[in-house]
């Protein structure tokens, strides 16, 4: 089996590439290295890296050539960045998905798997979030994922391309970038704790997230590549199924990191979702997927990797 992984030099993508290579797939990565790192791909024996923009038709055509499955993870993944640079985020996330689908169609790729996001549920009151609920994006980032999902449906309906849409909840683990203000909460807080640096809590700390360990997420992605086609065409939540208030996360980080956080308070950020929790029933029934790593164990593994320097620092902008 041959795979093309867009965004394969990034955090989740590089874990996926490692897993696919270990399972015997031949893997080609397309990544512009804007937040990913070439070293992340080098960790997977035999994986080829093409450095280029996913929106460039020639680059994605060459990366997808001969692929059975394209795993489309390349995106600008920050809600905050999308509020500051909405055009850029819509352009990369939606334009990138369109370019991937066009290349997949031209190259006779069997299936495209999309990394979508739980952020598309927005702030609707019902928890946990289940896939049948209406979506209500609050940020250009969330809207870009809703648009990417719509493109996937259109290409499946019109061209018969097999598609799988996975809505990841907050993913964390080793190699997640922590050096940018667009980085995720766990890498920011955990690295600040280990290095005894200040960090900022936006909002009252009562906002909740369903933190999901990267290896569990990758397992779901691999299952989505081979599951029965019609079953995966509709979106599937990939989340551990437990919501944790941020104040609880911070306490756990202090325990794992072995020192108190140097925390500053700031108002909640615009576009921020208040609560997030996955109903993972469809992932269980359609993919046979079960998360295996709880938050404290996942944080310990992430901290161990950070202490060893096994981390991307990411862009400083
Ligand atoms: P990441 O930033 O580590 O990975 C994204 C990768 O895409 C990077 O390697 C980056 O260099 C690459 N990239 C960005 N723009 C590109 C372009 N124009 N052309 C080619 N490559 C480009 O982020 P991640 O957390 O690993 O996210 C991977 C995917 O999962 C994204 O689609 C993201 O939206 C989605 N997702 C992530 C989370 C999470 O909690 N991390 C949750 C839901 C969905
Ligand atoms: C994250 C992902 C997004 C994904 C979504 C799925 C990143 C950067 N974002 O967005 O790709 O689609 O999950 O649900 O990986 N916070 C602080 N201080 C900080 C950083 C964050 O208080 O320094 C707060 C935020 O305001 C937010 C919470 O922590 O309330 C989580 O933020 P973040 O990790 O950026 O995640 P999401 O916005 O949920």
147 lines ligand 1 (CB under 6 A): no
- Residues whose beta carbon lies within 6 Å of some atom of ligand 2: 77-79, 117-119, 169-170, 183-185, 188, 199-203, 207, 209, 246, 269, 272, 276
Which residue is catalytic, options 141, 155, 172, 213?
141
How far apart CA 191 and CA 183 sit, in angstroms, is 11
pTM (2 decimals)? Answer: 0.98
pLDDT of residue 316: 32
Question: pLDDT tens digit string along 213-235?
Answer: 999 999 999 999 999 989 999 99
Pull the structure tokens for residue 39.
């070293």
Ligand 1 mutation pick, 9, 12, 173, max ligand atoms within 8 A of CB: 12
- Return the ligand number nearest the Cα of 201: 2
Residue 141 bears catalytic tag: yes
The two three-digit tokens of residue 273, written as one number: 């979702």
d(CA 10, CA 57): 21
In whole angstroms, give the CA distance from residue 14 to residue 218. 10
Q: Is the CB of 121 under 6 A from ligand 1?
A: no
In this prediction, residue 57 carries a pLDDT of 98
Per-residue pLDDT at 309: 85
pLDDT for the residue numbered 43:
85
Structure tokens at 181: 């203000």
DSSP code per residue over 21-34: HHTT-EEEEEE--S
pLDDT at 262: 98
Q: Which atom of ligand 2 is nearest to the CA of 201?
A: 22
Q: For 104-156, what is each residue's pLDDT tens digit? A: 999 999 999 999 999 999 999 999 999 999 999 999 999 999 999 999 999 99
Q: What are phi and psi of 171, to 5 degrees?
A: -95, 140
CB 99 less than 6 A from any atom of ligand 1: no
* Number of residues in the chain: 317
Structural domains of the chain in order of their starting residue, each with its CATH number: 2-171+212-238 (3.40.50.720), 177-209+242-278+292-308 (3.90.25.10)
Q: Is residue 34 in contact with ligand 1, taking CB distance under 6 Å?
A: yes
Q: Tell me what pLDDT residue 313 has.
A: 42
Query: Which residues, in sequence order, are bridge partners of residue 309?
Result: none
Low-confidence ranges of the chain (pLDDT < 70): 310-317
* pLDDT for position 312: 46
Q: Which atom of ligand 2 is nearest to the CA of 188?
A: 23
């Amino acid at each position: 089996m041959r795979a093309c992984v867009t965004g394969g030099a990034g955090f989740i993508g590089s874990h996926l590439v490692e897993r696919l290579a270990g399972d015997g797939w031949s893997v080609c990565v397309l990544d512009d290295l804007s937040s990913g790192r070439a070293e992340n791909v080098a960790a997977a024996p035999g994986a080829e890296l093409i450095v280029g923009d996913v929106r460039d038709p020639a680059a994605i055509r060459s990366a997808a050539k001969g692929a059975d499955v394209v795993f489309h993870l390349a995106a600008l993944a920050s809600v905050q960045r999308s509020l500051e640079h909405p055009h850029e985020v819509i352009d990369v996330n939606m334009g990138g998905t369109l370019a991937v689908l066009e290349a997949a169609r031209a190259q006779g790729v069997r299936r495209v798997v999309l990394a979508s996001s739980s952020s598309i549920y927005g702030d609707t009151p019902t928890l946990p979030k289940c896939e049948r609920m209406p979506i209500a994006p609050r940020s250009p980032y969330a809207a870009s994922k809703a648009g990417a999902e719509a493109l996937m449906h259109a290409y499946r309906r019109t061209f018969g391309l097999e598609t799988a849409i996975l809505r990841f909840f907050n993913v964390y683990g080793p190699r997640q970038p922590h050096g940018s203000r667009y980085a995720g909460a766990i890498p920011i807080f955990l690295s600040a704790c280990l290095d005894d640096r200040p960090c900022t809590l936006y909002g009252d700390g009562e906002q909740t997230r369903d933190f999901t360990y990267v290896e569990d997420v990758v397992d779901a992605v691999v299952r989505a590549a081979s599951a029965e086609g019609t079953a995966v065409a509709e979106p599937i939540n990939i989340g551990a199924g437990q919501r944790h208030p941020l104040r609880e996360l911070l306490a756990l980080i202090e325990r794992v990191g072995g020192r108190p956080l140097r925390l500053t308070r700031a108002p909640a950020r615009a576009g921020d979702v208040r609560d997030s929790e996955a109903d993972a029933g469809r992932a269980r029934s359609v993919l046979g997927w079960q998360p295996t790593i709880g938050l404290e164990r996942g944080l310990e593994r992430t901290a161990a990797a950070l202490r060893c320097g096994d981390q991307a620092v990411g862009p400083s902008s």
